[in-house]
Amino acid sequence: MGFIIRPPHQLLSLLSCPGLRIPRFSVLCAPPRLRTMAVSSSSWDLPLVAVCQVTSTPDKEQNFKTCAELIREAARLGACLAFLPEAFDFIARDPAETLRLSEPLGGKLLEEYTQLARECGLWLSLGGFHERGQDWEQTQKIYNCHVILNNMGSVVATYRKTHLCDVEIPGQGPMRESNSTIPGPSLESPISTPAGKIGLAVCYDMRFPELSLALVQAGAEILTYPSAFGSVTGPAHWEVLLRARAIETQCYVVAAAQCGRHHEKRASYGHSMVVDPWGTVVARCSEGPGLCLARIDLNYLQQLRKQLPVFQHRRPDLYGNLGHPLS
């Protein structure tokens, strides 16, 4: 079951939608074609997650204010976990500005999110933090770090993006992430949260199914791909890849995305969404900043895995282990 939350200035327009029931939090139910296959009668008791969509700029202070507003709204609506996109902290104009604006995990910005998690009593997926690691002095490069905070504000997991986006797409402009970023050395074991066991990835990682297969074999129930997809690859590949990862792993997939124009050099596709283990899009964001909500039904996930036991049918004797289980 999914919902779409409009930015505050758009809420009044929802009242004119024919046949639309507006709960007291001004929540728009997902359109019928996005309905999940099975929703139990006790679905309102299932854990609720919020997926935030923003337009980051080089202004870190304003970016934090925008994200904090969405996180507080997610908490008010009853979510137990809020997901922010890749580069929630900032999107710079060039590699030099990226390096200048970066911070260590123990810096001011993460402390602000720590306080926010405690204030809201909410788990946070901080989907791609520009991290100055312990090797910053030697390398003068950073990591693209996915951070999980619990509702007490403690860092309970970190994953550093392993696949860097060095591509040249006609009409979208070149991307050379490795100019400022070091690839992470390893995957992170799935982390238990109030919504389920989450496997961590970042954006370009979704193009490598071996990663998602390794995470699900390690126990993941939810895969998360915080992203900043471009205006060419977005319409062509975004939803297709997310649904494919959900279907092949029989996991929920949560994808918080950047949207709109960040500055004169870059824009992002948006279309944040949640996909269920059957491959159905159960929630998605509308255009512009905002958030969408979805309930995570792990009983449905387990039922589907029993009915369609693909992992029992795998043939590693023929093609090896695609995505070795994490140790």
Active site residue 306: no
Among candidate residues 86, 103, 131, 177, the one labeled active-site is 86
Active site residue 285: no
Q: Strand 252-255 to strand 259-263: parallel, antiparallel, or no bridges (unpaired)?
A: unpaired
Among candidate residues 52, 145, 165, 203, the one labeled active-site is 203
Which one-letter amino acid corresponds to residue 262?
H
Among candidate residues 80, 120, 131, 161, the one labeled active-site is 161
Active site residue 86: yes
Distance of CA 318 to the CA centre of its chain: 34
Alpha carbon distances (Å) from 89 to 8, 64, 126, 212: 22, 7, 9, 25
Report the C-alpha gap between 88 and 103 in whole angstroms: 13
- Active-site positions read 86, 161, 203
